[in-house]
Structure 1
């Protein structure tokens, strides 16, 4: 028995010294199918988030189409409206513009925990509802706003993730 221990002792020591490799986290249960009005959440283009007024003019979201926004260090983002919450100094953020053609309630879906503001001019719009996405859906946050026709800025602040999936939908 002692000889077996001596034979396997180096293997046991090596196994304890090696860093543990964790499998990527998986969702414990399969995601329920998303409702038809959220089908666009599955795919979409990538876009660098705006960091100032000049880049904001070229960074546009399309209502009803998911976009992966690549965020920037928060200290490099010059928001037109001071975000309600900035997050930690090492957090990430950015902006994108979008236009509304018809008045109504619009839902902003975000794939990462972060703070969002919808701004028109220099005024933040008041949210009317907040929710989380279904487990394993990839949707971290959903916030509703009543919006009139016009152009808006979506501000994202306080993200720990380098990218944020965004989808803006018209609510019935």
Structure 2
């Protein structure tokens, strides 16, 4: 057999090896299987004991749906068509998604985090403008926190708007980072 034919025999073997390498690498980065809840950082300690709160459908109702910084809530949401967002969300969701509004007060300037139990869209609104987020991330494995968005906020009153949530409720926490 000519020498050139031998490398061709190796092609299927090399292809098989190359195809399995990414699969093995992906297994190393798979989400952790949780046998017990993981510990939470101090600013998120209330995550496992949420209070019930009903989201507002408009700005006026948002003023009555008050979030206490550092205190986790399970926010009862509304069908998206019933929510009058003060600022159009970048991802508003569709007619079968859920959203809502709430308010909170920042007493001390700094980095503030919104932690969510789902991948819903979140905006922090002040003076008719959405605040620019400064960081995005996933929550710690095995905590139930799916998404975290950080903002640099000054003292004042803010409206939190949730959009594009697949369920009619959402666990969330607004907290100041140390």
Query: TM-score with structure 1 length normalisation?
Result: 0.81
1:160 to 149, 161, 166: 166
Q: Give me the whole-angstrom Cα distance separating, in 2, the residues matched to 1:28 and 1:118.
A: 31
1:131 to 129, 137, 145: 137
SS of residue matched to 2:104: strand
User: How many residues end up aligned between the 2 structures?
Assistant: 146
In the alignment, which residue of structure 1 is the partner of 2:149? 143
In the alignment, which residue of structure 2 is the partner of 1:30? 36
Whether the 8 Å contact between 2:59 and 2:101 is mirrored in structure 1 is: no
Q: Deviations over 1:19-54 (max 9, x none)?
A: xxxxxxxx5432321122211111121111000122
Whether the 8 Å contact between 2:115 and 2:172 is mirrored in structure 1 is: yes
In the alignment, which residue of structure 1 is the partner of 2:120? 114
Give the unaligned 5+ runs of structure 1: 1-26
Whether the 8 Å contact between 1:65 and 1:168 is mirrored in structure 2 is: yes
Whether the 8 Å contact between 2:113 and 2:150 is mirrored in structure 1 is: yes
Cα offset for 1:88?
Answer: 2.5
Q: Give me the whole-angstrom Cα distance separating, in 2, the residues matched to 1:87 and 1:170.
A: 28
Whether the 8 Å contact between 1:31 and 1:134 is mirrored in structure 2 is: no
In the alignment, which residue of structure 2 is the partner of 1:73? 79
> What is the root-mean-square deviation of aligned Cα atoms in Å?
1.2
Q: Give me the whole-angstrom Cα distance separating, in 2, the residues matched to 1:169 and 1:56.
A: 18
Cα offset for 1:112?
Answer: 1.4
Query: TM-score with structure 2 length normalisation?
Result: 0.78
Give the unaligned 5+ runs of structure 2: 1-32
